[in-house]
Structure formats: C-alpha cells, structure tokens
Structure 1
Amino acid sequence: MLLESSQWSPLPEAVDGWDPGTDLHVGRRVRVDPERFRQETGLELADVALAVSWTSSTTQMTEAAPPVRFDAGGTAVADTTLVGDRLSGVLSLRSTVSLVRPPVERAVAVAAVPGSVLAEQVQRVVLENVSSMFPVHEIDFAHTWLSPTASWHLETSVDLTAPFYGTFRVLINKRDSELSSAVSRGAKDKRQQALLDELQAGVAALLLELALHLHAELAERDDWPLDSVGDVLSRTVAASPLSIVVPPSPAELATVRTQISGAVRNLGRGRIFQ
C-alpha cells in the first residue's frame, strides 16, 4: 500500500507525477493461517518474520525495512519510508516470509537455515520510464556540442549490460522555452500535451532505431539483466509489430520510418488517434 495525503491506497504500477528525491511511504500487510502454516512448513510462526526490501534500477541501491514478527493470529504489518534520494527508475519491492531462527526440532524437508525464504512476492513500480520521458534535464545547448537550435537530445548507451534508467536521459534545450514549460510538472493545456506527445514519440522511435542497429548484439542472449539497456531494448522491439529486425537500406528507409511510426503508436507513445 502507498500512503498519500494521509490516505492508504494500493501501490500502483506507476507513481504518476513522482518528483525525484521525494520519499515514498509504503506498507505491507501479510496474513497466514497459523495451523495450515505449521502443517505445510513444519515450523512455528515464531520462527519466521516478514521482510520488505527494495532496489532501484537506476541507483542500484538496495535497502530493507526491519523484519516484522507475526502475531498469534498470523498477521504481520511492515510500515516503512523509502528515502527519495536513493530512488529512481523502476523500483522493485520484495516481500518475503523468511526464517529468522532455526526450529527447535529439525526434520527432513523443513527449513533450518536462517534467511531461508518460504514465500516471496515482488512488485515493480515505475517512478521514471518512457512515459515520463526518463530523467529529464534542462540545459542550454549553446554551451554544449549539441546544436543550439535543436529542442531535445536523448543520451544513450550501447553498453547492453548498463542500467537503462541510469544511462538514458532526455536533455531539453532551455532555448525552446515552450517545450521546457511543457515538460515541467503540473497540468497541461492542449498545446503543451501535443508537444509532450511529439517528444515522447520521437524518443520511442529513436529507441526502436537503436535496437535495430544493435540487433546482432541483442540476439546474442535472451537473459539480459533486468532493466538493463539490453533488456529494455529487447522488450521494446518484442512489443513492436515491426516486420524488419535489421537497419534498413537507403531504398527501404521511408518504408521503415513509416513502420516505426506505427509501432510507436501501437506502443501507446505519442499522439493517439481519436
């Protein structure tokens, strides 16, 4: 559960409008049937505890709340604050029922090593993703090697094992004040939403083109680390109805660009037909 404005609600798949550095207050309530637990595990409730931990895909920081013991009725509640400065990208929250002390009487097929996980649930929560245009930074392109008349630039990486949300970010040219205003937090008018849609579509199209150029490298394995560059690019291509998997020849360029445009819309990016 997520605590917002003094109200608890189910933790969503994505936290809309999350500002970098903002703490998250979450809670996890677990209930087990004490008698069935004893029968199926050979353990007592006093032998186990609820543990909640979390990992940020961008910072690669992993933290955990103090373990919580179950009461006699089989209920345990973990209530903790996730420090915003250590969060970004995609957050993986892991809840486990784990052994905290060895059983008094050991038996065959009964967990005996402290730390053994009897039950596990992992929930992924998007804080910054393609929909929110990755981490966004505003700079004056005139002070960089980037064209001062370009509106935006996507920083990328061809290191397929690198964390995606730690290496990909959108740079907005401060000279395009209209786009800078549109990407700021808050309600959008139609014009600002159109600018965001255009930016979103452009970034998504660039990801697909990058994946096409890295096709051979991406095909070398199917077990890229979660939220790595290889993982995100592979999933992006897999979700896209492209009939090609390699960079186009000059004669095919226009057709491929049209395919990519359609694939971007099928991914839910950019302006959607009304």
Structure 2
Amino acid sequence: MLLDDVPVELPESLSDWDYQMDLPVRQQVRVDVDLVRQATGLPPSAKLTLAMVWTATGSGLKAAGSRVLLPEAGTVTVQLDALLSGNQLGGLLVLETALVLAEYCDSGALASPRRAGSVLWADQRSTRLQGDAALFPMAVVDFSRTQYPEDAGWHMEIGGDLETATMGALLLLVNERKKVVVEALRNAAKPRAVDRVVLSTVHADVARTLVDHALREPDFSLNADYGDESLGATLQALVARLFPEQSVSHLRRRQQQSPIAFATELQHAVRILEED
C-alpha cells in the first residue's frame, strides 16, 4: 500500500485509520506467462487477466480494484493500483490478487480450465482497520438544513438491529458550522492540543449515546453472538471495555435508578479530557 505516496508492506493493522481516510493500495506481480500456459495447458489464444479484489468485513462490501490483461507470451511485471474509499471500509480489509481466465476457452489440454473467471493463482493479504478516531462513518452537514438544532456540534444516528453491520447502523453527523469540531475530526490521526480536547469531548458523548442505546435494547447481552463487525458486537466491545466485570443487568439498574451518577461514572470510564 501507499502511505504519504511511499510504498510500504501491508501492515497487520492501521492504528490511525478512520472512515475519512482513503487507502491507496498497490500490488506488483511478476508473471511468467509461458510458464502459466505450460502449467495449465491453456493455448496462446486464452485470455489471461490479473486482478485485484478487496473485501471489507466492517461494511460487507466487496469490489474489484483494478485488472490488467496479460500478453500472449513472455514475462511481465504488472502493477495493480486502487484507491479505496474510507467510507466503504471498516473491520478487516482483505486484498486478493488473482490470475484468472478472462474468457471462455474451448481449446487446450483436456484438464485445462474452460470457464471465464476460473482462478489459476491467487494471493491474499489483510490488515485490520482500527483507528483511535471513530470507527464508523461520519458526514459533515449544515445543521440548519436538518431537523437538528443548528447550534449543536454533532449528532449520532443509530439504526437497524443488533445484527446490522456497524457501518450501516451508525452515522456521526457533524455540524459544518462548528469549525473547531470539524477540524479536530479531520486531524484525528495527528491531533493538536485543541483537537485532543474536542476529540475527547466527542468521544465521551458518543460513548454515552452508544452505551445508553445498548442498555435500552431489551435483547442486548454481553453473551450473545451478533456476528463479526455488527452493531451488537461493537456495543459489546464498548460496554465490556468501559465497565469490565459488570453485568448488563447491573448497569441497567444503575442507569435507571441514578442516571446522573451513572453519567459521571461514564465520564470516568472514557477518561474524558485526560491528557496523554
């Protein structure tokens, strides 16, 4: 992949990634076309293509990055490039490079592949996208054009059930009129001192909203299996991290009986305004 236009090996995880960060990826593959045809029994007329395909578990999306048609013979070095939009990613990003038969081939050896799309070779690599910024989509909008108070800084929208993919269930709307908030979120990977204060405040409020939503969901449980990268799994991870060794039933009682005290406990749990 490319970081600041510098090629680097795909890391195990990207700790400073967020949904506003697009990812440029590049794969170089050296292909001995003659050896491929010899090994597969395919004739020179068979069309061969090298393609890159990406999959993101957080969004459930899968798409082709780029593809290159190979020559009939010889050895070539193929470069595959793609710019992956951050708002389509999340969770585990899997990049697969595959050599495929581009068109139906009715000639060649008896055991040769025939069908278009037959995979002759494949390589797969992955990285986990796990930034310190919000791990869900964000949109900057003018609140005066929405149903929300025009002087509010942000609003967290939550939709779908606990099995819904996190990316499809959560959306943080940021008021474009609040420049300090917009700038802080844009600088989340490398925040200034003022950005850290704003990010801490947004983080605390988003955590409060998500925890409140989880505890008000009658079917929410720390023991349920909602599926990877789902809203339920995201809420489980958040509640377990903020309130370790505390049951959901206990937290629900605290929230219902002493909501103000519970809000203060949540401030403590998220370490609001704590300096690094």
**TM-score with structure 1 length normalisation?**
0.64
| Aligned equivalents of 1:77, 1:153: Cα separation in 2 | 45
Higher strand share goes to which structure? 2
Task: Return 5+ residue gaps in structure 2 as ranges.
Answer: 31-38, 43-47
Q: Give the match for residue 160 of structure 1.
A: 162
Deviations 1:153-198 (A, max 9, x none): 1111142343322342222334544434433458654223211221
Note if 1:82 corresponds to 2:83.
yes
How many pairs align?
A: 256
Residues 87/183 of structure 1: CA separation in 2 closer, same or farther (3 Å cut): closer
| Aligned equivalents of 2:265, 2:66: Cα separation in 1 | 47
Question: Equivalences for 1:238-257 in 2 at 5 Å?
Answer: 238-240=240-242, 241=244, 243-246=246-249, 248-249=252-253, 250-254=256-260, 256-257=262-263
Residues 10/76 of structure 1: CA separation in 2 closer, same or farther (3 Å cut): same
Task: Return 5+ residue gaps in structure 1 as ranges.
Answer: 32-42
> What is the SS of the residue equivalent to 2:246?
coil
Residues 3/205 of structure 1: CA separation in 2 closer, same or farther (3 Å cut): same
Note if 1:10 corresponds to 2:9.
yes
| Aligned equivalents of 1:137, 1:99: Cα separation in 2 | 41
> What is the SS of the residue equivalent to 1:216?
coil
> What is the SS of the residue equivalent to 1:236?
helix
TM-aligned CA deviation for residue 8 of structure 1: 0.9
TM-aligned CA deviation for residue 130 of structure 1: 4.5
CA RMSD of aligned residues (A): 4.9
8 Å CA contact 1:89, 1:134 repeated in 2: no
8 Å CA contact 1:128, 1:135 repeated in 2: no
Question: Equivalences for 1:121-160 in 2 at 5 Å?
Answer: 121-124=124-127, 126=129, 130-131=133-134, 134-141=137-144, 143-160=145-162
| Aligned equivalents of 1:64, 1:177: Cα separation in 2 | 34
| Aligned equivalents of 2:273, 2:196: Cα separation in 1 | 9
**TM-score with structure 2 length normalisation?**
0.63
Residues 29/261 of structure 1: CA separation in 2 closer, same or farther (3 Å cut): farther
8 Å CA contact 2:59, 2:165 repeated in 1: yes
Q: Give the match for residue 196 of structure 1.
A: 199
| Aligned equivalents of 2:266, 2:173: Cα separation in 1 | 22
8 Å CA contact 2:143, 2:151 repeated in 1: no
Q: Which amino acid aligns with 1:212?
A: L
| Aligned equivalents of 2:74, 2:17: Cα separation in 1 | 40
Over the matched positions of the two proteins, sequence identity in percent amounts to 21
| Aligned equivalents of 1:189, 1:89: Cα separation in 2 | 26
Question: Equivalences for 1:60-99 in 2 at 5 Å?
Answer: 60=61, 62-66=63-67, 78-82=79-83, 84=85, 88-90=88-90, 92-95=93-96
